[in-house]
Chain A
Amino acid sequence: MNIHEYQAKQLLTQYGVAVPAGQSCDAPEAAKDIAQKLYQDGAKLTVVKAQIHAGGRGKGTFKNGFKGGVKLCKTADEVLENAKAMLGNVLVTKQTGPDGRLVSKLLVALAPQIQKELYLAVLLDRAASRPIIMVSTEGGVDIEEVAARTPEKIVKEWVDPAVGLMPFQARKLARALELKEGLIGQAAKLISGVYKTWWECDASLVEINPLCIITDAQGKPGISAVDAKISLDDNALYRHANIQAMRDLAEEAPLETEASEHNLNYIKLDGNIACLVNGAGLAMATMDIIRHYGGMPANFLDVGGGASTEQVTAAFKIIMKDLNVKGILVNIFGGIMDCNIIATGIVAAVKQTGLKLPLVVRLEGNNVSAGKRTLADSGLTLITGDSMADAAQKVVGAVGN
């Protein structure tokens, strides 16, 4: 699960990470009020940031023509104008795709005077099965570009989960950021806080880009997490009610949300051949084989090992809501499940949903002959496939790609 920047900053603040003062809002007047307070507190510049689950906001364009989802403002009235232009409008960035995302929340924050932009992230190193902290003096840009061009500028530190991040490691990382004496202690504290956020919230990624050396109102240097991105481990959400409450359904594709309510794993793609498969690996492989024979998969859909009638029916309903779909491939390896039960479920689902599109079914496994008979006797005009390859070729042919 992903959360918004303002939510990420709320979590980080709880672990002692310094972030620029600010607040979220969903109305232009509220944005102005927040800005007024910030100016009263001594801010010289504030920033209005559109809250969507996608990067590239600053360089994005709204569908109403307004440019930029991140705007610096000198006055509260300027904040008001920008908030009006952003709220209720769709922002398109290089990460959102052409559909863009509706902006319904803003973060209004103090814009500190930035001396230098750095990079800090915590994530899992799969190969080491340990958390890894990465820092770079090259902040504010796409870290993947830094990794490709100047990999030596990314410094890594692995954390032993038995003891957690040790203070010396945080100091090492602070030194790697080429910080001066006065800031090392501050930076080490911030790095420890970011790591703690990652570990205790069960995050899969905490990324601070940029992490900034700033000059505060008194003219002193400081360290601040000016932007923040947090992704969380879905499997651990059950133990974080506060984070579950941060879920923003408006950021998720409606069909994917509906699928998750039926314990189905569905991801919409751009093609026109829908697939319904049991098991994640087989579901991916089914998409691949459709592509291999010249078709384009419309979705990833794993109905799980069980593939009950209810689930199959729900799956058909979801697939059919995608108007691009011109044909369906059902690929079930019923190892333990009785294939006849699955076939009965498919027949019931097709009748219930009134499916008119070409349907190719490949069934394999336990009691498969009875299952095939059920399909043949159903009176439905479905096509059966003997193998994955056969079924994939038939569905691609039926759709006419």
Chain B
Amino acid sequence: MHEEARGNFLYIIDMSILVKPNTRVIVQGITGSFGARHTQLSLGYGTQIVAGVTPGKGGQLFDNKAPIFDTVAEAVKETGATASAIFVPPPFAADAILEGVDAGLELVVCITEGIPVNDMVKVKRAMAGKATRLIGPNCPGVVTPGEGPDSHGGCRIGIAPGYIHKKGHIGVVSRSGTLTYEAVWQLTCRGAGQSTCVGIGGDPVAGTTHLDVIKMFTADPDTHGIILIGEIGGAAEEEAAEWIKHNCRKPVAGFIAGATAPPGRRMGHAGAIVSGGKGTAAVKIQALREAGIGVAPTPSEMAETLLKMM
């Protein structure tokens, strides 16, 4: 990141949002089975996982590759990491996020599902005014595909399958994991690569919104088109659509899941609920259409809808 801050050159030849293939990443909760498995997959993808953090296990080595530290601050100091992936269990996740913030990380990606909402309310308040960006929680993470075969050599933070990606110019932002993979795979199968794919997570209180990511894609010269995937609950998709209408000149295709969901029921994701007639798929789809976003009639046609617009 320091290199990028100094000169624009690297920035120009290697654009994307949030993370780049050379981003140095640590994993909080690297020794748990979930964290360990996905750290191995990220290392296999060619991601620069430079350290892990597990309190009490400092001094050990993960997979003979990455040193483990007791604290994030030490890991950052020793490795120059700027981003982290969090795989700790829900009761400890708020603490892990704020430890990453305290250590001055630029990006914290929290994969953990099932964090109490009030913990996230406190985390968001504590992060006000801090430079760290939080993605998630309850999200698949971020992938900036690499140049190698099956997009090897990219930066994979989280749990998304790396090989379905392809380096290119489409940005993908979504609240759902598998629906993101579906969109990415549709793009890759049609030869359309991705600049960066961001899963912002399915919880009602999240670090980053659709709008935050849309603004980054709009500003990124390497992103030529955007797929926005939303679902019932809240009004984040409408907020993003309103901004796109006035500020984004790039083609945007969208899909909203949950048109058939019964009101008042939580559809798997903590945030996926229609309450008091608010947050319905119909209202969101209408907002997308009014903003000139191409709405995919079915989830099978997300890539096709965007590619027709480009």
Task: Write the residues of chain A forming the contact surface with B, with a CB cutoff of 8 angstroms.
Answer: 124, 126-127, 129-131, 144, 147, 160-162, 199, 202, 204, 233-236, 238-239, 265, 267, 269, 277-292, 297, 300, 302, 305, 333, 335-336, 364-366, 387-390, 392
- Complex: A148 Cα to B269 Cα, angstroms: 28
Known contacts A144-B277, A288-B258; is-contact A282 B116 (Cβ 8 Å): no
Are B181's CB and A333's CB within 8 A?
Answer: yes
Known: A281-B175, A300-B265. 11 other contacts (CB 8 A): A129-B120, A130-B125, A161-B118, A161-B121, A202-B117, A269-B262, A280-B267, A282-B176, A284-B268, A287-B260, A305-B177
Known contacts A289-B298, A365-B161; is-contact A281 B121 (Cβ 8 Å): no
- Complex: A389 Cα to B299 Cα, angstroms: 8
Asked if B239 is an interface residue, CB under 8 A from chain A, the answer is yes
Contact with A along B241-254 (1 / 0, CB 8 A): 00000000000000
Are B300's CB and A280's CB within 8 A?
Answer: no
Asked if B213 is an interface residue, CB under 8 A from chain A, the answer is no
Q: List the B side residues contacting A291 at CB < 8 Å.
A: 259-260
Q: List the A side residues contacting B261 at CB < 8 Å.
A: 284, 287, 300
User: 9 smallest A-B Cβ distances: which pairs?
Assistant: A281-B176, A280-B268, A279-B178, A335-B161, A236-B116, A389-B300, A281-B179, A285-B299, A282-B178
- Complex: A364 Cα to B164 Cα, angstroms: 11
Asked if B50 is an interface residue, CB under 8 A from chain A, the answer is no
Nearest Cβ on chain A to B105's Cβ, whole angstroms? 20
Which residue from chain A places its CB closest to the CB of B180 in the assembled complex? Answer: A281
- Complex: A286 Cα to B300 Cα, angstroms: 10
Q: List the A side residues contacting B182 at CB < 8 Å.
A: 282, 285, 333, 364, 388
Interface size on B, residues (CB 8 A): 63
Nearest Cβ on chain B to A312's Cβ, whole angstroms? 15
Task: Write the residues of chain B forming the contact surface with A, with a CB cutoff of 8 angstroms.
Answer: 41, 90-91, 114-122, 124-126, 159-161, 163-164, 174-182, 185, 202, 204-205, 229, 231-236, 239, 255, 257-262, 265, 267-272, 276-277, 281, 297-301
Known contacts A289-B299, A333-B185; is-contact A279 B179 (Cβ 8 Å): yes
- Complex: A366 Cα to B277 Cα, angstroms: 39
Are B298's CB and A281's CB within 8 A?
Answer: no
Q: List the A side residues contacting B179 at CB < 8 Å.
A: 279, 281-282, 285
- Complex: A126 Cα to B269 Cα, angstroms: 14
Picked from B121, B122, B177, B298, the residue with its CB within 8 Å of the CB of A279 is B177
Picked from A126, A281, A335, the residue with its CB within 8 Å of the CB of B174 is A281
Q: List the B side residues contacting A239 at CB < 8 Å.
A: 91, 116
Are B174's CB and A235's CB within 8 A?
Answer: no
Q: List the A side residues contacting B268 at CB < 8 Å.
A: 265, 279-281, 283-284, 300, 302
Which residue from chain A places its CB closest to the CB of B184 in the assembled complex? Answer: A335
Are B125's CB and A283's CB within 8 A?
Answer: no
- Complex: A283 Cα to B267 Cα, angstroms: 9
- Complex: A281 Cα to B140 Cα, angstroms: 12
Are B205's CB and A124's CB within 8 A?
Answer: yes
Q: List the B side residues contacting A130 at CB < 8 Å.
A: 121, 125
Which residue from chain A places its CB closest to the CB of B234 in the assembled complex? Answer: A126
Complex A-B: 24 CB contacts under 8 Å: A126-B234, A126-B271, A127-B235, A199-B118, A202-B116, A235-B90, A267-B265, A269-B260, A279-B176, A281-B174, A282-B178, A282-B179, A283-B267, A285-B182, A286-B299, A288-B259, A289-B300, A297-B260, A300-B268, A333-B178, A336-B161, A364-B185, A365-B164, A388-B300
Are B271's CB and A235's CB within 8 A?
Answer: no
